[in-house]
Amino acid sequence: MTDLVDRAREVVPGGAQTGLREQAFYPDDIAFASADGATMTTVEGETYTDYHLAFGPVVLGHGDETVDAAVRDAIDDGVLFGTATAPLEVEVAERIVDSLPSAEMVNFCNSGSEATYHAIRLARAYTDNETVLKFEGCYHGWHDYVDVNVYPPADQVGERHPESAGILDAAVDATEVVPFNDLGAVEAVFRERGEELAAVILEPIPHSVGCLLPDPEFLDGLETLCEEYDVPLVFDEVITAFRHSPHGVQRELGVDPDLTCVAKALGNGYPVAAVAGTEQLLSQAGGDNTDGVVISGTYSGNRVGLAAARATVDALAERDVQGHLTDLGERYREGLRDLMADHGVEGRVVGHRSIFSPQFGVTGEPRTYEDVVELDEERFRTYARGMRERGHFFTPNPFKRHHLSTAHGEEHLERYLADADDVLTEL
Contact 387, 354 (CB under 8 A): no
3-state secondary structure of 41: strand
Give the DSSP H or E segment for 47.
Answer: strand 47-50
Contact 257, 104 (CB under 8 A): no
Residue type, 344: G
The residues, ordered by sequence, that sit 6+ positions from 352 with a Cβ below 8 Å of its Cβ are 205, 207, 211, 213, 244, 329
Would residue 236 show up in a list of annotated catalytic residues for this protein?
yes
Catalytic residue among 145, 264, 369, 376: 264
3-state secondary structure of 189: helix
Would residue 264 show up in a list of annotated catalytic residues for this protein?
yes
Contact 284, 125 (CB under 8 A): yes
Other beta carbons within 10 angstroms of residue 205's beta carbon come to: 24
Would residue 299 show up in a list of annotated catalytic residues for this protein?
no
**Secondary structure percentages of the chain, helix, strand, coil, to 5:** 45, 15, 40
Catalytic residue among 51, 117, 126, 139: 139
Contact 335, 103 (CB under 8 A): no
Kindly report the length of the chain: 427
Catalytic residue among 236, 258, 371, 376: 236
Contact 259, 232 (CB under 8 A): yes
Cα-Cα-Cα-Cα dihedral sign, residues 238, 239, 242, 248: negative
Contact 240, 207 (CB under 8 A): yes
Would you please indicate which residues are annotated as catalytic (active-site) residues?
139, 236, 264
